[in-house]
Structure formats: structure tokens, C-alpha cells
Chains A and B, each alone.
Chain A
């Protein structure tokens, strides 16, 4: 339970017991009913919005997925698992699925190590201009996706964009280059632009994680003659490992949900080469006439299941790797906890 939660804690069970005994004490002091009334009152605002905008829509989506429905006619045409059968034999679904996985894996594999590296550099005490650099690398995330898409479309425009002009000035390319218009480079460009956009968020996550590493450990390691690489692999990584699992989970989940950047940069093209699942769902439900809410809903459900399996596998591997990691620099870990 505590391991599955995004906020892990070694002494979770202990605290829970503490809590229980405290509640018992409280119960003897004042009425149990009154406490429950307060609890209900505190939960009410969240539960109302959560139920209306998350739980109910989720159940409704599952329900719609068994119907052939355009969103306008009454919901009468029950077709069982028909939508699912059609999806599984739809090449566009599998292409979108493949692209989404490539996007999620490549995006995560690029943004996580780079943002960790930068976070380590930007938390060094000796570095000048920390605030300036932190702001510079964080800033793309404040740009609306729609805007980022527009700006990059123009920058990468082969006819008069700044990117082509710059590369030609450097004589790296002869003629103009159309990165978003070619099958071979479109998905990669979208992946890299997305890395640029979300990078700052992960840098901040890593900086937060690094605050848990006591500075004294580095000092004593330096006295023992450990180099920078040894400090990274023996001190930094083992200590931030539990948080790293959570950060990489969030990274993969967010990447699997990629949508806006694809819409604004390529609209799934050229051809269908940058279709991702969210975009497929969107086109089926809101764009291609006749609207197919039922089919889109089935796509959403199937994707949620596949994404869930993917993430669970990743979490399992992450925990296994973590377990073996922790045995190597064990003494540091133990000192840390004591």
C-alpha cells in the first residue's frame, strides 16, 4: 500500500497505528459521531467534484463502449464487444498504439536523465546564477501547448523558418529541411519538442528529490577520494531511488497521454505517421463525421488497460532494480536511516 502510493514512507504502518490509537483517544473524549460529521464535511467538496468529473465519466465511458453511438441519437444500439473487436483489427489503432509507446519510451528516456543531470548541476552550491538558469530551463512549460506548437511550426517551416536558416548559415545542410513534413523525422521532432516543453517540470522534481541528500555525505566522500561518478552512483542515486521510481512513473504516464503537441504540430501527419492513441480517440469522437462516441470510448478503455499494464510492469522492474541497487552501497543507506 505505502509502496504503491506516490508518497512512500518507510514508517507508514507505524504512523497508521499511531493514528488509530489517537483516534481511539479522541473518540473517548468527544462523540465519535461528531468527528465523523467533520470528516464527511471535509471530504464533501472533493468527493462531489471527483464523483461528477472523474468517477462518473469513467463508468459512463465504459458503458458507452458497448454501444454503436454517435452522441446524438438515443443510446439504443447495444453491440456488445463489437467496438473492441473492430479496434483490435484496426491497423490505425495498432499504429497509434505503437507510436504512443515509442513516444512514451523515447520521451522518458531523453527527458529524465538530462533533467536529472541538470538538476544536479543547478543544485551545486558553488554555481553562479542558479536562479537565472533554473528559470531559463523551466520556462517552456509556461507556454500553452497550442502556442508552442504554432511557434515551432513557424521556426521549423522549411520555406522561411529560423531553424532552416540557421543550419544553412552554418553550412550543415544544403537546401531547406522539412522536419515535420517527412515520415522519417516527424515523430522524432514531436518527441524532442515535447521534451523541451515538459523538461522544467522534471528538473524541479529532481531538484526536490536531491534536497533529501545530505551535503555531509558528499563531503566525507570527497575526503575519501571519491570522484564525481562514484558520488553519483554510490550516494545520489541510491538515496533518491524511491522517489526516482515515482518520478519515472509520472513521466511515463504523462507521456502516454500525449495529445496537444501532436494536434498543434502535425495533426497526426504526414499521412498517419504521428497518430497517437489520444489523437485517434479525439478524431473518432469529435472530428470525423459521423461521430463515433462508442468506438472512441472503447479505444479509451482499451488504451487505459494497456497503459496500466505497461506502467505496472515498469513499476515492478523499477522496484526490482531498486532492491538490488540498495544492497550494493548498503552501509550508506543504513547510516542514512539511523
Chain B
């Protein structure tokens, strides 16, 4: 069946397309390759090699320097904690809210929906001051809880809309069946929640990447507690008084983007389907 759908000259198409794509993709990922190769170079080699990706002399000490001396072991654990916690909170609150918005009418429902849509327009930079004052007044400045709260507080409008769209599109029969089985409010939600796998994957990818890479929040909220920083902020510990440790920095970059790459590869299949299901409405 699939063979029949292929154009007759698919081999020729592929030779042209794949060649062009490979060339473009090479330049596209070049900064990554450059960082990866830099992480194995010596300090001197980094600057003599120009655009070349092959290290002249191998230097593995960059990784141990990044991991131990620059404190990446601590930053790494912090980042894992921040990302996992804020992703779980986002999933929890946006799934519940999206479900209720999709399935029930209640006073103020339309107002809430419009407010959530309007939130998409607000520039984050513009509300950072009151958010900071709030965390400070709660006594959560320079704590892990403060960082996690700030990471999971502001985002989420898009996630609610994704869940709302998905639950609205579910066939009525599923809910009727749940009712026949005598399932109540919470039990019905628990039954249909696993169906939202594509949306769950989308939220996990978006929020995990966003909080893993977040720079401003961990910087501002841990200003006097450097050991609470995440990898993105920790990167700047390679900035010395007069010099910048570029090869250590490159090794740190590799340490910080490999886990995200794995998350993306694992959830990639669901990701596109999740968005497709949501935009179908």
C-alpha cells in the first residue's frame, strides 16, 4: 500500500533532497558540533583551529574541570530538580483546569477563558518586578521552592488551551461509558486523562526545555546563593576575572544539552501528534 503511494521517481527525489538537506543541516548544527569538538580541545587549540572541528590534541580534563571545579555536579542536580518539579506542577494544574473548561459550564467560565487567552500577550519582562516582590514577601528568596514556584507560576496559559482543546474534542461516548460504569467527577477525569498522552508529551517537552534553559529566574532568585543555581546560570562561572575558560564552557554546554536531547528524542513521536490533535479542535 505504502509502496504504491510513492512517486515513481522517488529515488531521484531523494538523491536531490537528501543532498541539499544534509548540506543545510550541517551548517544548522555546526554550532553544536563546534561546541562538542571544543569540549575536547586544548585551550590553545580552541583558538588556533578556526572553523575546523577536529581537535589537534585531545584534552579530556575540560569535563572534569566543568563537573567538579566549576560545580556542575551541583548545578546539574538543581536543574533536574527544577525542571522535573515545575513540569509536574504545570501538568497537574493545566490538565485539571483544561478539563473543567472543556467539559463544564459554570459562572465566570467564559471570562476565565478570555483571561487565559489574553495572558498570551503579556511580555514576561514587564511583570517580573511584582513577581520578585511576591517571592521576597513569601520569604522564599534564595530557596529552591522559590525558584520552582517562579518557574511554574507564570507560564501555563498555552498548556491549559492545549488540554482544553483536546478534552473538548473527545467523543461523548467515552463520557457516557464512564457514567454507565458509575464513575464520579474525579474518577471520570482519571479515566480520560491517559487518553491525552500527546498533549502530556507536548507539555513535558515545552516545559522541561523551558525550565531547563531558564536563565533570568534562577539568576534573580538565587542571587546570594550560588549553590542553588542551574546549569544555564552556572555557565558563567567560566567567566574569570580576566579570561574566559572556553573549553570548560564547551564541556559545560555539552553536559547541559545532552539530557534535553534525550527528552526530545523520547517524546518526539507524541509531540507532533499532540499539537496536531490540539489544533484540530
Q: Cβ of A338 < 8 Å from any Cβ of B?
A: no
A-B pairs with beta carbons under 8 A, tally: 281
Contacts of B274 in A (CB 8 A): 208
Contacts A54-B119, A60-B130, A285-B129 given; does A142 touch B257 at CB 8 Å: yes
Chain A 69-88 against B: per-residue CB contact (8 Å), 1 yes, 0 no? 00100000000000000000
Give residues of chain B (88-137) contacting chain A, Cβ–Cβ below 8 Å: 89, 92-94, 96-97, 99-100, 103-106, 110, 112-117, 119-131, 133-134
Query: Interface residues of A, CB < 8 Å — how many?
Result: 109
Q: Cβ of B276 < 8 Å from any Cβ of A?
A: yes
**In the complex, which of the residues B124, B157, B185, B278 contacts A257, with contact meaning CB atoms closer than 8 Å?**
B124
Contacts of B112 in A (CB 8 A): 43
Contacts A5-B161, A46-B156, A297-B126 given; does A147 touch B119 at CB 8 Å: no
Q: Are B124 and A196 in touch, CB under 8 angstroms?
A: no
- Name the segment of A181-189, A211-219, A327-335 touching the other chain: A211-219
* Most chain A CB inside 10 Å of its own CB: which residue of B28, B134, B160: B28
Chain B 1-31 against A: per-residue CB contact (8 Å), 1 yes, 0 no? 0100111001001100110010001001101
24 contacts between A and B (CB under 8 A): A5-B161, A9-B169, A16-B105, A38-B185, A42-B100, A49-B89, A49-B152, A54-B119, A54-B127, A54-B153, A60-B133, A135-B265, A138-B264, A140-B29, A142-B213, A144-B256, A150-B249, A162-B34, A162-B51, A204-B272, A204-B275, A243-B279, A259-B125, A293-B129
Q: A39-B106, A42-B96, A143-B257 are in contact. List 17 more A-B contacts (CB 8 A).
A: A7-B168, A42-B189, A54-B154, A55-B115, A126-B14, A129-B18, A139-B264, A142-B209, A160-B50, A162-B34, A169-B51, A204-B275, A207-B275, A208-B275, A257-B123, A257-B125, A260-B216
A interface residues with partner B (beta carbon < 8 Å): 1, 4-10, 12, 15-16, 18-20, 22-23, 34-36, 38-39, 42-43, 45-47, 49-50, 52-58, 60-61, 64, 71, 121, 124-129, 131-148, 150-152, 154-155, 160, 162-163, 165-166, 169, 196, 204-205, 207-209, 211-212, 215, 219, 243, 246, 250, 253, 256-257, 259-260, 277-278, 281-282, 285, 293, 296-297, 299-301, 303-304, 307-308, 311
B interface residues with partner A (beta carbon < 8 Å): 2, 5-7, 10, 13-14, 17-18, 21, 25, 28-29, 31-32, 34-35, 47, 50-51, 89, 92-94, 96-97, 99-100, 103-106, 110, 112-117, 119-131, 133-134, 149-150, 152-154, 156-158, 160-162, 164-165, 168-169, 172, 175, 185-186, 189, 209, 212-216, 231-233, 235-236, 246, 249, 253, 256-257, 260-261, 264-265, 268, 271-276, 278-281
